[in-house]
């Protein structure tokens, strides 16, 4: 736990510095755009080209800002052993931070919560680990171009359900056969068990389900 | 509106660039790179709004805000926060800051907040002037 806290602290500090870097890049680009806007007599033939480049700089600042914000929140995860989390927000965070892996495997994730506020009391690091393990397992077994929907909801017994639904480009569900015997699946089940939760696979419909319960930490 | 802004941040490049952008939009900008200088400038000069970074070495944003508010209670402040310091930005508002804005800040949002903060200061000053006039009128029985 000490090690996790250490990693989190250093990462959080670095993301704070990244914010300053991004702020300076944004202001530099912004100032160049200000100067560019002053030229209105057609005397600068590259005005449009420069404007396009500056707009790309601004887009990348926004992208970097989003990643660094999510990374900062992630880095603060080990600050508490138990905490109340908004599940759709945590899913957004894990999706944002694993975008690169998903892109390299040509897979995309879509967060489709049943309700925008879905509170769960849990161990925050393990919840993220469980989500990541689920996503990684599905990414490894997904077809190219696969779109995976992550649906979260609360049932009548106050249990939180997260369903990862694989739908291939053709519209047919991808089979999850053979996954249940893999070492990765066993690890995922163990992580779920560590937070009193369950993981299940429905191979026919291509759905991986996590059933999560509020942990009592008093 | 003639808004006198003091930008306070230890990131000198950021201060210089932002100052130039705000000046080109008609703001009168003064710069400080630490909390102590910010307090001295506010004490000596006429500042409407202080744009104050929360996390600075030495005197941090909150301590600087407290001193400024003690010396010039009507001077408005907008806290500049990073993601780990939003709570500090909110704490600043509890201590009298007008608002907070996250880095990297969007220039249009920042411009609007600075103008709104300045408006609040001017309104407050006008109310105080009016109260003083009312007091004189009442004392003299006019």
Of B21, B55, B85, the CB nearest to A27: B21
Selecting from 3.40.50.2300, 3.90.650.10, 3.20.20.150, 3.40.640.10, what CATH number does the domain B4-140 have?
3.40.50.2300
Smallest CA–CA distance from B55 into chain A, residue? A16
What's residue A176's pLDDT? 67
Crossing angle between the packed helical segments A124-141 and A87-97, to the nearest 10 degrees: 50
Q: Tell me, what's the pLDDT at A168?
A: 64
ipTM score above 0.85:
no
CA distances from B129 to A174, B6, B135 (A): 74, 24, 10
Interface of B with A in 54-73 (CB under 8 A): 55
- On the CB side of B95, CA atoms within 13 Å amount to 21
User: Peptide bond preceding B104: is omega within 30 degrees of 0, i.e. cis?
Assistant: yes
Sequence ranges of the domains in chain B: 4-140
If chain A, 218 residues long, is cut into consecutive pieces of 10 residues, what is the mean pLDDT of each piece? 91 91 95 92 88 95 93 91 91 95 93 90 93 92 89 88 79 61 90 90 81 76
Question: Does B108 lie at the interface with A, CB-CB under 8 angstroms?
Answer: no
Low-confidence ranges of chain B (pLDDT < 50): none
List C-alpha distances in Å: A130 to A105, A121, A137, A149, B99: 20, 15, 11, 16, 38
Amino acid B89: pLDDT:
82
For chain A, report the end-to-end CA distance as a whole number of angstroms.
20
User: What are A89-148's pLDDT values in tens digits?
Assistant: 999 999 999 999 999 999 999 999 998 889 998 899 999 999 999 999 988 888 888 899
Sequence-distant (6+) residues with CB within 8 A of B74 are B121, B124, B125, B128
Q: Residue A201: its pLDDT value, please? A: 86
Q: What is the pLDDT of residue A175?
A: 58
Residue A43, Cβ density class (10 Å: 0-12 exposed, 13-18 middle, ≥19 buried): exposed
| Closest CA in chain A for residue B85 | A16
- Residues pairing with B30 in the sheet: B6
Show contacts of B31-34: CB within 8 Å, 24+ apart.
B31/B6, B31/B7, B32/B6, B32/B7, B32/B8, B33/B8, B33/B9, B34/B8, B34/B10, B34/B58, B34/B59
pLDDT for A172 equals 44
Of A15, A28, A34, the CB nearest to B83: A15
Element (H, E) at B69: helix B61-71
For A75, the closest chain B residue by CA position comes to B84
CB B128 within 8 A of CB A47: no
**pLDDT at residue A106 in the model:** 92
pLDDT for residue B3? 96
Chain A residues in contact with B83 by the CB 8 A cut-off are 15-16, 19, 68-69, 72-73
Of A12, A20, A30, the CB nearest to B84: A12
Give me the pLDDT at residue A75, please: 93
Query: CB-based contact (8 Å) between B20 and chain A?
Result: yes
Q: Does A66 touch chain B (CB under 8 A)?
A: no
Interface of A with B in 147-166 (CB under 8 A): none
Identify the pLDDT of residue A218: 53
């Amino acid at each position: 736990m000490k090690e996790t806290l250490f990693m989190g602290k250093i990462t959080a500090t670095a993301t704070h510095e990244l914010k300053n870097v991004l702020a300076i890049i944004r202001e530099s680009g912004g100032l160049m755009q200000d100067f560019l806007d002053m030229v209105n007599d057609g005397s600068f033939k590259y005005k449009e080209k420069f404007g396009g480049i500056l707009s790309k700089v601004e887009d990348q600042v926004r992208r970097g800002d989003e990643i660094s914000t999510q990374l900062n929140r992630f880095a603060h995860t080990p600050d508490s052993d138990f905490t109340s989390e908004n599940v759709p927000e945590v899913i957004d965070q894990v999706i944002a931070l694993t975008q690169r892996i998903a892109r390299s495997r040509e897979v995309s994730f879509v967060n489709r919560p049943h309700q925008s506020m879905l509170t769960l009391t849990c161990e925050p690091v393990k919840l993220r680990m469980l989500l990541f393990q689920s996503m990684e397992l599905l990414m490894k077994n997904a077809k190219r171009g696969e779109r995976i929907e992550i649906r979260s909801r609360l049932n009548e017994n106050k249990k939180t359900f997260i369903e990862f639904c694989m739908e291939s480009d053709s519209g047919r569900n991808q089979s999850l056969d053979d996954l249940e015997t893999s070492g990765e699946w066993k690890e995922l089940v163990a992580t779920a068990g560590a937070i009193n939760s369950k993981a299940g696979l429905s191979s026919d419909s291509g759905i991986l389900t996590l059933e999560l319960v509020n942990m009592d930490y008093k | 509106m003639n808004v006198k802004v003091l930008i306070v941040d230890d990131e000198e490049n950021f201060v210089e660039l932002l100052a130039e952008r705000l000046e080109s939009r008609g703001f009168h900008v003064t710069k400080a790179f630490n909390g102590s200088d910010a307090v001295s400038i506010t004490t000596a000069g006429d500042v409407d709004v202080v744009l104050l970074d929360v996390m600075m070495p030495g005197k941090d944003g909150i301590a600087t805000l407290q001193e400024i508010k003690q010396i010039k209670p009507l001077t408005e402040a907008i806290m500049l926060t990073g993601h780990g310091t939003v709570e500090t930005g909110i704490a600043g508002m509890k201590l009298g800051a007008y608002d907070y804005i996250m880095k990297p800040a969007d220039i249009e949002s920042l411009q609007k907040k600075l103008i709104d903060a300045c408006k609040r200061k001017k309104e407050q000053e006008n109310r105080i002037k009016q109260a003083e006039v009312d007091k004189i009128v009442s004392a003299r029985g006019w």
